[in-house]
Chains A and B, each alone.
Chain A
Amino acid sequence: DASSNAKAQKTTKPLYERLSQYKEDQSLHTKTPNVFKLTPDMEPIPCKPLFFDLAMNYLELPSLEDKLESPGKKGASITG
């Protein structure tokens, strides 16, 4: 039995459904290996395109320059 299994055999079952059996499956060496049956079959459908929110990048705090006098300068004006 073992010797017959080692031979290359035609099978329509995908690899996923026969993991416990050893079979030399030539399809596994091709570009379309019979590994797993995907359902549903792939087909092109319209998709929502990528769209970036670039306005968000403009959302910034206002300039705080006039609110942030350096403490050193402030100190000098008090003592000086």
Chain B
Amino acid sequence: TNPKEAQIKSAYADVNKYGNNREYDKAIKAVNRILGVAPDDQTALHCKVVCLVQLSKFEEAHKFIEKNRLTSLIFEKSYCEYRLNRQQQALKTIDDGIVQPLPPNLKELRTQILYRLERYEECLDSYKDIIKNTSDEYEDERRTNLSAVAANLAVDKN
């Protein structure tokens, strides 16, 4: 193996290690080592976006996605927009993507965006659908969100 390849391999081992420990500040340094020698490495670019978002650097992550034209990272892009309170754009990012039917991550995010947009009827339908079709460790939290939607609907009707 050439030195460059070995360098990338060892950096990926670090990304994996720090990622598993949720030490994203350290993981991002390892990712930068990869991008230093392989700037087009798609996996590394993806990792960098995830690290930035995990570190709450939404603006930076969003710019990084745009600059590197990471069109496949629909979830990450939309999530940044959601956190930057650009809800219309966040919804557009998801709905302009060609992914249909939506995978669970995009469905969950889209539903939260509908809530922020105060489109409670659609949001309620969407949550009912998610709750029917998922079993994970966040079922209580999701039902809490459903109640929040129902409460807002009740207030709206008064």
Give the interface of A toward B (CB within 8 A): 46, 49-62, 64, 67-69, 74, 78
Contact = CB atoms under 8 A, between A and B. Distances in A.
Contacts of A52: 138, 141-142, 144-145
Contact of B148 (A49, A53, A54): A49
Contact of B43 (A56, A59, A62, A69): A62
Contact of A55 (B16, B112, B147, B148): B112
A68 B16 CA distance: 9
10 contacts: A49-B144, A54-B142, A58-B104, A59-B79, A61-B15, A61-B16, A61-B50, A64-B16, A64-B43, A68-B13
Contact of B79 (A55, A67, A78): A55
A50 B105 contact: no
Interface in B45-76: 46-47, 50-51, 53-54, 75-76
A51 B47 contact: no
Given A59-B50, A64-B43, A49 B147 contact: yes
Contacts, number: 77
Nearest to B140: A52
Interface string B124-152: 00000000000000100110110110011
Given A59-B76, A62-B43, A51 B151 contact: no
Nearest to B82: A55
Contacts of B35: none
Nearest to B142: A54
